[in-house]
């Protein structure tokens, strides 16, 4: 695994120790550090449209609209005829996240979901595979007769993105296709709330089986909320799922408001910490908040300027490292915030995937901790049972930097990792 940046000698990260085994693309649960993602497999079809086009088809702007196949195909054909489609990319919110994780960490991940058993050139499945990192192990995908999902990603002139999802066979993931040995040794499991709207579909049972397995084997579960109206429509189910299974919740400020009823992102994060152990709230041009727990005995004061918002002096202990509440003798809430890296790119064409990118960086830090704990269990870094390697403040920096990279390339999947060293990211991550 590539470590998230250079490190002080004290915490030497043994990345270059020779491995006795031959390299393998397949994840070997006993040997590899990896993250598992479960997703509705979707290919994104990018199209520029006008606001009138959305109105014509009654499509909710800024939302992920689940549409039956006939209507979605009508929309697709109209876009093809008017040459509005610019390209096909692999998508799916978790597919994007684990692809980005694999690119950042230069290490393996496992994708669970469906895949067309017979793949024709130019088909949605073909485009999906072409745009996914070879470090994403797809040997555990569940073969289906039909197409994977198609997500028509419509970009309006204001840069806002709206999805029309034609589900195809994306919800046919069977619970039997979930490999327990792969879940059991994972550094983390990541999934989204989207399958919770697939009522009565196999993927929902598969999702709960995966959650049960992660819980049984003590694997941290990370969930992203997807989109605001999904939260509004399935709030109770989401709340109970988070309470029962989730260790870290990732959402934007609109989703956070829909979940908690609180519009202030920091206060919403504080409320969400009653449900789960760690919370990421991205807030577009306002940057992002990362909040969680640490044990009072392990808290560390920041040397950054103290910030006050809805909570006074809220970032005071942002140099602490995240812990699960159950592992704290004296749990205290910790909050950190960061403004967009360099104020954000000069020109943002679309913000698609910026939040998923931030989440991939956090998963990298969680996996790095897992790797380090197994490589050097006696290190002082593991005197307490921490959830991540770095402090809240440091993870914020990294997450923010990755969001910037996504915004800059105007596509949700990173085409390459971050530079090894960067002047403007001083201290630990890129320390010389």
Instruction: Please tell me the distance from the alpha carbon of residue 112 to that of residue 172, in angstroms, as a whole number.
Output: 12
Per CB under 6 A, which region of 171-179, 257-265, 306-314, 351-359 contacts ligand NOS? 351-359
Query: Greatest CA span in the chain, whole angstroms?
Result: 64
User: CB-based burial of residue 44 (10 Å sphere; 0-12 exposed, 13-18 middle, 19+ buried)?
Assistant: buried
Q: Please, what is the minimum distance in Å from the beta carbon of residue 254 to ligand ATP?
A: 8
Distance CA 80, CA 225 (A): 31
Interaction between residue 91 and ligand ATP (CB under 6 A):
no
* CB 192 to ligand NOS: min, Å: 6
| Shorter beta-carbon distance to ligand ATP: residue 49 or 290 | 290
Find out whether 283 is annotated in a ligand binding site.
yes
| Interface characters, 118-157, with ligand NOS (x: CB under 6 A) | ---------------------------------x------
Of 28-36, 86-94, 245-253, 361-369, the window that binds ligand NOS (rule: CB under 6 A) is 86-94
Q: Using the rule CB under 6 A, which residue among 195, 287, 322, 331 binds ligand ATP?
A: 287
Counting residues that bind ligand ATP (by CB under 6 A) gives 20
Interface positions, 342-401, toward ligand ATP (CB under 6 A): 344, 348, 351-356, 358, 400
Q: Cβ of 88: how many Cβ atoms within 10 Å?
A: 19
Q: How crowded is residue 420: how many other Cβ atoms within 10 Å of its Cβ?
A: 9
* C-alpha–C-alpha distance, residues 196 and 231, integer Å: 10
Residue 432 to residue 423: CA distance in whole angstroms: 10
How far apart, in whole angstroms, are the C-alpha atoms of residue 381 and residue 173? 39
- 151 contacts 163 by C-beta, under 8 angstroms: yes
**Minimum CB–partner distance for residue 401 and ligand ATP (Å):** 9
CA–CA distances in Å: residue 422 to residues 13, 364, 426: 19, 18, 7
Burial of residue 267 (CB within 10 Å: 0-12, 13-18, 19+) is middle
Binding string, 228-257, against ligand ATP, x = CB under 6 A? ------------------------x-----
What is the binding site for ligand NOS (CB under 6 A)? Answer: 40, 42, 44, 64, 91-93, 96, 151, 163, 165, 194, 352-353, 356, 412
What is the binding site for ligand ATP (CB under 6 A)? Answer: 252, 282-285, 287-288, 340, 344, 348, 351-356, 358, 400, 403, 407
Binding residues: 39-44, 92-96, 197, 282-287, 355, 400
Binding residues for ATP: 282-287, 355, 400
């Amino acid at each position: 695994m590539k470590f998230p940046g250079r490190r002080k000698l004290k915490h030497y990260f043994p990345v270059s120790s020779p491995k006795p085994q031959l390299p393998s693309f397949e994840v070997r649960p006993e040997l590899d550090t990896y993250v598992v993602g479960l997703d509705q497999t979707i290919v994104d079809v990018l199209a520029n449209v006008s606001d009138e086009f959305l109105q014509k088809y009654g499509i909710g702007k800024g939302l992920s609209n689940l549409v039956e196949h006939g209507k979605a195909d009508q929309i697709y054909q109209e876009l093809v005829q008017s040459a509005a489609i610019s390209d096909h990319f692999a998508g799916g919110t978790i597919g994007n996240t684990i692809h980005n994780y694999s690119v950042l960490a230069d290490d393996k991940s496992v994708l669970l979901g469906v895949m067309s058993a017979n793949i024709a050139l130019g088909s949605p499945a073909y485009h999906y595979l072409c745009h996914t990192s070879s470090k994403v192990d797809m040997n555990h995908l569940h073969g289906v007769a039909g197409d994977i999902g198609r997500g028509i990603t419509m970009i309006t002139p204001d840069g806002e993105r709206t999805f029309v999802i034609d589900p195809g066979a994306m919800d046919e993931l069977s619970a039997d296709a979930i490999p327990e040995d792969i879940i059991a040794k994972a550094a983390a499991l990541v999934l989204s709330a989207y399958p919770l709207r697939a009522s009565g579909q196999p993927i929902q049972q598969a999702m709960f089986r995966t959650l049960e397995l992660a819980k049984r084997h003590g694997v941290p579960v990370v969930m992203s909320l997807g989109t605001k109206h999904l939260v509004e429509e399935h709030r109770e189910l989401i709340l109970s799922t988070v309470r029962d299974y989730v260790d870290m919740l990732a959402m934007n400020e609109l989703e956070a408001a829909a979940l908690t009823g609180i519009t202030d992102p920091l206060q919403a994060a504080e409320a969400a910490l009653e449900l789960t152990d760690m919370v990421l709230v991205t807030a577009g041009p306002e940057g992002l908040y990362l909040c969680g727990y640490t044990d009072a005995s392990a808290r560390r004061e920041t040397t950054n300027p103290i910030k006050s918002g809805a909570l006074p002096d809220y970032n005071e202990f942002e140099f602490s490292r995240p812990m699960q509440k159950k592992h704290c003798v004296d749990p205290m809430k910790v909050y950190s915030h960061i403004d967009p890296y360099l104020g954000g790119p000069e020109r943002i064409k679309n913000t698609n995937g910026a939040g998923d990118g931030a989440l991939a960086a956090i998963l990298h830090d969680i996996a790095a901790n897992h790797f380090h704990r197994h490589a050097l269990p006696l290190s002082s870094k593991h005197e307490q049972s921490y959830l991540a390697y770095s402090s809240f403040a440091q993870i914020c920096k990294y997450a923010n930097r990755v969001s910037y990279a996504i915004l800059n390339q105007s596509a949700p999947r990173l085409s390459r990792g971050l530079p090894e060293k960067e002047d403007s990211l001083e201290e630990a991550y890129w320390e010389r």
